[in-house]
Structure formats: structure tokens, C-alpha cells
Amino acid sequence: MKNNVFRFIFLTLFLFFLVLYITQALGYYEYSNRKTNIMTEEAKERFEKDIENGKEINAGDYIKKENDYNNKMSRMGLKLSNTIGDIFDGIMSFIFYEADKTVNS
């Protein structure tokens, strides 16, 4: 029974790690950041007209603002994700340390 609980926890942590790793490897974070900074065609046209007319330019007027979805649940999810990442990192460090110690003994 104790082995099954350990396997379940380990597999769950491993799956969380894989999901986080794959999303990072596929560039989702960079894509979402880049998407927030792209000006729309309309904003580009307004920007060019403002330059032609000699108006004062403020970059914030041309960038589309995204909604802030930060709430208690998302902060809790982020904290949980970071905790799982730290635990997994500690477990993997311990495993590789013990394996290195065994091989080099």
C-alpha cells in the first residue's frame, strides 16, 4: 500500500513536470508574451498618422491592453505549481546524487 501511494505521488509529480516542460519547450510562454506586445493594424495606422501630424507619441496609446485575470485561484495555482516544481527538483537532485555516489564509490 505504501509503495502504491509513493508511485502515485511520483507519477503525478512527473506528469506535472512533463506538462510544464513541454509548454516551455514549445514556446507557449514566449508566444503569449509576444502576443501581448503586438500592435494591431489599426494601431499602426493611428501611430503613423500621429507621426505625420506631429502629435506627441505615447506607446501605451497604441498597445492593446489585456484583461488581468489574476485572482486568488490563479495565485494559489501558481504557488502550488512552484511548490511541486521545487519538490520535484529536490527529489531528482537526491536521486541523481545517490546514483552518482553509488557509481563513483
As for how many domains the chain has, the answer is 1
**What's the pLDDT score for residue 18?**
87
Asked if the structure places residue 75 within a domain, the reply is yes
Across residues 22-37, what is the average pLDDT?
71
Asked if the structure places residue 10 within a domain, the reply is no
Confidence of residue 65 (pLDDT cuts 50, 70, 90): low
**What's the pLDDT score for residue 94?**
92
* pLDDT above 70 (res 39): no
Asked if the structure places residue 98 within a domain, the reply is yes
Q: Rounded CA gap, 58 and 60, in Å? A: 5
Asked if the structure places residue 39 within a domain, the reply is no
Query: Taking CA 41 as the corner, what is the angle to CA 35 and CA 47, rounded to the nearest 5 degrees?
Result: 105
Q: Which domain holds residue 102?
A: 68-105
Asked if the structure places residue 97 within a domain, the reply is yes
pLDDT digits (tens, 9 = 90+) for 77-94: 888 888 998 998 999 999
**Positive or negative, the Cα torsion across 16, 21, 26, 28?**
positive
* pLDDT above 80 (res 8): yes
Q: Rounded CA gap, 24 and 10, in Å? A: 21
**What's the pLDDT score for residue 90?**
92
